[in-house]
Amino acid sequence: MAVTVKRAELGAFLRSRRERITPSDVGLLDGTRRRTPGLRREEVAQLSGVGVTWYTWLEQGRPIHASVQVLDAIARTLRLNPSERTHLFRLAEVPGTEAAPPPCSDCPLPAEVMAVLEAISPYPASVVTEMFDLLAWNEPYAALFPNLVTASPEERNTLYVHLTRPACCHPVDNREQQIIAMVSQLRASYGRHVGDPVWTSFINRMEAASEEFAAAWQSHDVAHNVHYLKVFRHPAVGRITVTTASFDVREVPGARMVVYTAKDQASQEALHRLAVGQIEDAHFPCWPAHDPKRALASAPI
């Protein structure tokens, strides 16, 4: 079953990459009117030096063997970046491709990891899984995401919060950009877990929760964890611009520590104010309407 799902994922990924390449991108004439965007299958096959039938079967998810040389040729034709090429090889099950981490149902974070989180204050930092479940955090991070860190464990997921938190009190200013980046990272991680019921359930949950996620997921864009710009908004200190850095946490398979460092002096000062706990009770104006405890207290009996 897992092999069949992975082959279907491979076919969908190839189609999505093929459709984004125009004939002019690869030196071909547009020719006759096209019914679908991008290159045709026969054009990809020709440019890659493979048979049309063989490439068609590959896109259809049939159980055929693909060599490294052939996949490299297809990757060049489709102009795949390094993350996309790795994703292609993983889905095609090329020997030696990075495998999924071993399962871990109960992997507590070592005390040393918790100590690092506290030591790097005033920089916000957290530990998340490949599915963006939040495992641990420090005080500056909690000051930025108070509703996340106090949520129930099943809802303590950074991607879920990005997708569902109302815009009026969302802590991330460049939210749309961050969602695209996170979904692209999730898609890359998913390549190691295709067919896993836990992952399938999670993807289904995200699609049901957000049309925005569903659209981003269907784009099949992939990316690995990279340094990128993130802009926070806080009700007391205003705009905070940071860059992110990720580090693997070896003790928990698939987990990583994400650290936010200030991009400018104003952001550095704002993070310091958060770290020393000067503004713990600051809230956005809409807080009374969105705070779960207040909403429960005001509900009619």
DSSP string, 179-228: HHHHHHHHHHHHTTTTT-HHHHHHHHHHHHH-HHHHHHHHTT--------
CB atoms within 10 A of CB 157: 22
Question: What would you report as the CA-atom Rg of the chain, rounded to the nearest whole angstrom?
Answer: 22
d(CA 134, CA 142): 11
Full-model pTM: 0.76
Report whether 206 contacts 217 (CB < 8 A). Answer: yes
What amino acid occupies position 131?
Answer: M
Helices and strands, counts by H and E, the chain: 15, 5
Quick check: helix, strand or coil at residue 232? Answer: strand
Task: Out of 30-39, 69-78, 132-141, pick the least confident.
Answer: 30-39
Find, among 146, 132, 136, 113, the residue nearest to 274 by Cα.
146
Cα atoms in the Cβ-side hemisphere of radius 13 Å centred on 19: 14
Mean pLDDT, residues 62-69 taken together: 83
Which CATH class, in words, describes the domain spanning 2-91? Answer: mainly alpha
What confidence score (pLDDT) does residue 301 get?
41
Quick check: helix, strand or coil at residue 30? Answer: coil
Give the rounded percent of residues in the chain with a pLDDT score beyond 90.
30
d(CA 112, CA 6): 37
Q: What are the pLDDT digits (tens) for 252-285?
A: 888 899 999 999 999 999 888 888 776 666 777 7
Q: What are the pLDDT digits (tens) for 159-176?
A: 998 898 887 778 888 888
| Cross-strand bridge partners of residue 125 | 259
Cα atoms in the Cβ-side hemisphere of radius 13 Å centred on 175: 19
What amino acid occupies position 187?
Answer: R
Q: Where are the domains of the chain?
A: 2-91, 111-293
Mean pLDDT, residues 219-226 taken together: 83
- 111-293: CATH topology is Beta-Lactamase (3.30.450)
What confidence score (pLDDT) does residue 227 get?
74
Q: What are the pLDDT digits (tens) for 164-207?
A: 888 777 888 888 888 999 999 999 999 888 888 788 889 999 99
d(CA 122, CA 128): 19
| 97 confidence band (pLDDT: 50, 70, 90) | low
Q: What are the pLDDT digits (tens) for 70-88?
A: 888 899 899 888 788 888 8
